[in-house]
Amino acid sequence: MSHWIAEGPENGPLFIFAHGAGAGMEHDFMTAVAKGLVEQGIRVVRFNFPYMVKRAEDGKKRPPDRAPKLLEAYEEVITHFTSQPIVIGGKSMGGRMSSLLADNALVAGIACLGFPFHPPSKPEKYKGEHLANIEKPTLILQGERDTFGKREEFDGFALSEQVKVRFLPDGDHSFKPRKSSGYTEAGNIASTVEQLAAFIKEVYREK
């Protein structure tokens, strides 16, 4: 079984898309966003981190590998698919790992979907310090109600001028809104795809 899925036009702008901690590259969220980007003419590569490869093989749940192993695997995927600077990004943990590769010469821009600023209900365990000094164009798409970093918390987050933040209305960590809000999950995913595609294309134009 392949450890990655590559879709979209081979000459399209390349986006490498990393999964979150609990679900792999074939999760519904990953698939929906990837398909939407492909429809916008973007070439999308999804891949599984090593612990998720093992889980796919034997069905046993495992915690994520430690960051150095995740980053090493991520860089191997990048160098396999490109020799030119590209845009990378990911869902939750995958987005955080993407942002930790900002100094890699092959990274031109970074997109984080549901950045895990802290574990739910534990704002003291902040994991976004490096975002204050990031020097590459970075897009954070965040659900307004995300328990890993809600909209009202952002005034207290130190973010570089290179970081653009956009909120998904009433969205949770997977951008799903409450029925009572009047917003829909499909609408928030469509908005995610639209904003993400525009960001990717903008980075390639300015590169």
The helix or strand, by DSSP H or E, that contains position 46, with its residue range, turns out to be: strand 43-47
CATH classification of the domain holding 29: 3.40.50.1820
The pTM assigned to this predicted structure is: 0.96
Expressed as residue numbers, the domain containing 175 is 4-206
Number of structural domains (the chain) is: 1
Q: Which amino acid is at 91?
A: K
In this predicted structure, the answer to whether residue 1 has a pLDDT above a threshold of 50 is no
In this predicted structure, the answer to whether residue 98 has a pLDDT above a threshold of 90 is yes
List the structure tokens of 26.
């074939």
Q: What is the pLDDT of residue 207?
A: 66
Residue 73 makes CB contacts below 8 A (sequence gap 6+) with 49, 50, 65
- With vertex at residue 143, the alpha carbon angle to CA 77 and CA 30, rounded to the nearest 5 degrees, is 30
- 36-84 pLDDT per residue, tens: 999 999 999 999 999 999 988 888 888 899 999 999 999 999 999 999 9
**Confidence label for 2 from pLDDT (cuts 50, 70 and 90):** low
